[in-house]
Chains A and B, each alone.
Chain A
Amino acid sequence: QSVLTQPPSVSGAPGQRVTISCTGSSSNIGAGYDVHWYQQLPGTAPKLLIYGNSNRPSGVPDRFSGSKSGTSASLAITGLQAEDEADYYCQSYDSSLRGVFGTGTKVTVL
């Protein structure tokens, strides 16, 4: 069961900027746990995209950025490209160190 809420879909033209919100509560994001983001291309396993709220693993383009404030977080994709079309999930933890995922957002490149 997802306890982090994301918009079901966002879309944008190539080159545009899109953002994905991730809304939690005082028992997860608001409790101080970091937020991590994953990209899932069709038919593949999720891939770590952003960790520790705003850090990019090696190899992830700087077009992807993350932020966190209060009980929410967001992922921004600037300079949208066709290969960014995928599902995106936020993830954090609750007060008992149980993992929690977002509801997922499908990004469509128009």
Chain B
Amino acid sequence: QVTLRESGPALVKPTQTLTLTCTFSGFSLSTSGMCVSWIRQPPGKALEWLALIDWDDDKYYSTSLKTRLTISKDTSKNQVVLTMTNMDPVDTATYYCARIGTGGGGPFDYWGQGTLVTVSS
């Protein structure tokens, strides 16, 4: 049974760095074809893809946010970590992690429940 769960602060101040952790079970990120991605959704708005890390430790970032994002994995802990620097109120959103089980280009077949991050002083 595949599960993913996001964790991190619910509130961050402008200019701070956000660190989110995705803890998963039911698969290994060292298995060929496995990837974990981060996706966010501002309140009432559309989904926005942020970053992806694959089984081979290749990393891909949103063009518009790549200077602020870092994605990493700890295979032994079954965790993927996303850091986003210089947070701004427009970054207020629900942040999801999701799995791809069929390699690059595949669908997000399992999602976490999401964690709401509010950016405010």
Contact = CB atoms under 8 A, between A and B. Distances in A.
B47 A101 contact: yes
Given A1-B48, A45-B96, A45-B113, A98 B107 contact: no
A66 to B, nearest CB: 11
B63 interface: yes
Interface of B: 37, 39, 46-49, 52, 60-64, 96, 104-109, 111-114
10 contacts: A2-B46, A38-B47, A46-B47, A46-B108, A51-B109, A97-B60, A97-B105, A99-B49, A101-B39, A102-B46
B112 A45 contact: yes
Contacts, number: 65
A52 B46 contact: no
Contacts of A103: 46
A2 B108 CA distance: 17
Interface residues of A, number: 26
Interface string A31-50: 00110101000001111100
A48 B109 contact: yes
Contacts of A47: 111
A93 B105 contact: yes
Most buried by A among B47, B61, B62, B114: B47
